[in-house]
Chains A and B, each alone.
Chain A
Amino acid sequence: MAAAPSALRASSGCASRLGSSLRNGSRPSFFFLPATASMRAATFSTTAPQCKRKTKDSNKRRGVSSLYGSGPREPLSVSDAPLPKPVEFKPKIEVDESHGLWGFFPAPGKLLLTPKETEEHGRAWTVEELRRKSWEDLHALWWKCCKERNMLATAREELLRGKFGFGEREIGTRDDEVTKTMRAIKHTLTERFYTWQDAVEVAKSDPEINLEAGDGQVYTPSAYEEAYDDIAPEEEAPRSTDKEPKETVR
């Protein structure tokens, strides 16, 4: 009894309270039980502090994890109530035909081409054909090829993912043809660059061309060709329509 009551166990604390009430001298009457006497009758108590789980470090949540879903240690009042389940509902969204991501597909709303449709393509552009094209044309064609390759890659991925069947070879052949076009474009541009380099070399030794001219007047003819003016409209017509200055150098 010398120890502090807080250090005692719950049950012994209960007994000590019982003993103290006896020692106080108030005689217990069995007919009119006062409020303190009910404590005496109840040797077992279910109050919360006594039912508390004793753990090593008095951690209430020892062993309860949200990571591996252990659930609470004791069943709760709502444990028997069935949980509501989310509804299987995915909203279907209307996509207009102008959406940019349709560029990854053969046509708006169409997932992929059939092998027969994939095979229906022409040959690649040749270097001979591309030589007479302007830089704008070549650039536009290059981007067109990029889009086509992206579309084919998406179709191949979807074909393999969905296990639709044959068609990988056709996609590969078409992709090769597009790649050939892209290679031809680079070939053409490289040729143009080399031609321009050669032209600059030639111009350096040309007395009629002054590359260091600050006013942009590079061509300084030594003599004015009078006869040239008369035939100029016929001869210069094709030249003026030609957009590509590098081609005229060649």
Chain B
Amino acid sequence: MAEAVKAAAARQLPAFKLGKKQVFLPNHVITMLRKEHLPPNEACFKVPLRFTKFDLRDYLWNLYGVEVTTVRSYVKQQPLTQRSTSSRSWYRPQPHKIMTVELAKPFQWPDAPADLEPWSNDLWRMREETIEQRNEEQLARQRMQIPLKSQQQTLPKERQQLGELAKKMLSGEVKWENNVVLDPRWDKILGREKAGKSTETTTTTTTTTTSS
């Protein structure tokens, strides 16, 4: 106890007047925010709503030994939020209180890590993209804009293969065959069809020739 008192006396007092009310077990969480536009002599914090400027000033001095010259604050309203995707209940979340302080000693934020492998960034981004895509699909379905299977950009592999095969068959590159040995009695019918087809084709060719 005596050591703590001595240390406190030895510590240089700040330029401002410290608060007198003692708080022994505070339960606040202060978040430091990175703001790119702020100069190095300023720092931004998210504080509980009940915090005042003096609270933050004394908190930073007592807990971190950071001297602060000025504090600016604002309360940021949060957007309306749905309680859950299934319910129709909406509510306004508690707003955030943001305070910007001017520091006696400037502070520079550390750089972001260059290698994001420890955070599995690739996997995470894939997951985020999938979630985003699903949400968009869901929204489109709610708007009754259901895309046709054939209009989908990414068809499954089997469908793609089938489509290619069908195109080849249409162009005559591949002849359709199901390797079934037919009864000889079919020969007669099939032969007639073949003959009819051949006559049809001949007629079409003749018509085209006559027209041209």
A110-B110, A156-B31 known; 6 other A-B pairs, CB under 8 Å? A95-B107, A95-B108, A99-B66, A100-B66, A111-B111, A165-B120
The answer to whether B112 and A166 touch across the interface, beta carbons within 8 angstroms, is no
Q: Which residues of B contact A159 (CB under 8 A)?
A: 119
What are the residues of chain B within 8 A of A17 when measuring CB–CB? Answer: none
A142 to B32, CA, bound (A): 20
Is B197 among interface residues, defined by CB-CB distance under 8 A? no
CA distance A116 to B117 in the complex (A): 11
Tally inter-chain residue pairs, CB-CB below 8 A.
95
Is the contact region of chain B dominated by helix, strand, or loop, or is it mixed?
loop
Interface string of A116-155 (1 = CB under 8 A from B): 1000000000000000000010010011001101100110
| Contacts A101-B66, A143-B63, A166-B124 given; does A93 touch B29 at CB 8 Å | no
Closest Cβ of chain A to B90, distance in Å, is 23
Sort chain B's interface into a size bin. 35 or more
A99-B107, A109-B110, A110-B110 known; A149 vs B119 contact (CB < 8 Å): no
On whether A100 and B106 interact (CB within 8 A), knowing A116-B118, A154-B32, A164-B116, the answer reads no
CA distance A100 to B64 in the complex (A): 5
What does DSSP make chain A's interface, helix, strand, loop or mixed?
Answer: helix
- Count of residues in A whose CB is under 8 Å from the partner chain: 42
Identify which of A115, A153, A162, A182 contacts B31 (C-beta below 8 A).
Answer: A153
Taken residue by residue from 84 to 116, chain A's Cβ proximity to chain B (1 for < 8 Å, 0 otherwise) reads as: 000000011111000111011100011110111
List 11 A–B pairs whose Cβ atoms lie within 8 Å, in order of A's numbering.
A101-B66, A143-B63, A154-B33, A157-B31, A157-B34, A158-B34, A165-B119, A165-B121, A165-B123, A166-B124, A185-B25
Residue pair B28, A101 in contact (C-beta under 8 Å) = no
B110 touches A111 (CB 8 A): yes
A40 at the interface (CB under 8 A from B): no
Q: Is the CB of A92 within 8 A of B108?
A: yes
Interface status of B43 (Cβ within 8 A of chain A): yes
Indicate if the CB atoms of A164 and B110 lie closer than 8 Å.
no
B90-131: CB near A (< 8 Å → 1, else 0) gives 000000000000010111111111001011110111000000
Which chain A residues lie closer than 8 Å to B119 at the CB level?
114-115, 159, 164-167
Q: Could you tell me the distance in whole angstroms from the C-beta of A81 to the nearest C-beta in chain B?
A: 29
Identify which of residues 13-44 in chain B touch chain A, using a CB-to-CB cut-off of 8 Å.
24-34, 40, 43
* Least distance between A143 CB and chain B CB atoms (Å): 7
**Contact partners of A147 in chain B: CB under 8 A:** 63-64
Closest-by-CB residue of A relative to B118 is A114
- Alpha-carbon distance A136/B1, docked complex (angstroms): 7
If A110-B110, A146-B26, A154-B32 touch, does A165 touch B116 (CB 8 Å cutoff)?
yes
Chain B residues engaging chain A, CB cutoff 8 angstroms:
1, 4, 24-34, 40, 43, 46, 60, 63-66, 103, 105-113, 116, 118-121, 123-125
6 tightest A-B contacts by CB? A165-B119, A114-B118, A100-B64, A165-B124, A100-B66, A165-B121
A186 CB-CB contact with B under 8 Å: yes
Q: How many angstroms from the CA of A163 to the CA of B126 in the assembled complex?
A: 12
A161 part of interface (Cβ distance < 8 Å): yes
Least CB distance, A171 to chain B, in whole angstroms: 11
| Contact across chains for A157 and B46 when beta carbons are under 8 A apart | yes
- Shortest A199–chain B CB gap in Å is 22
Contact A104 B26 (CB under 8 A): no
A164 with B108: CB separation less than 8 A = no
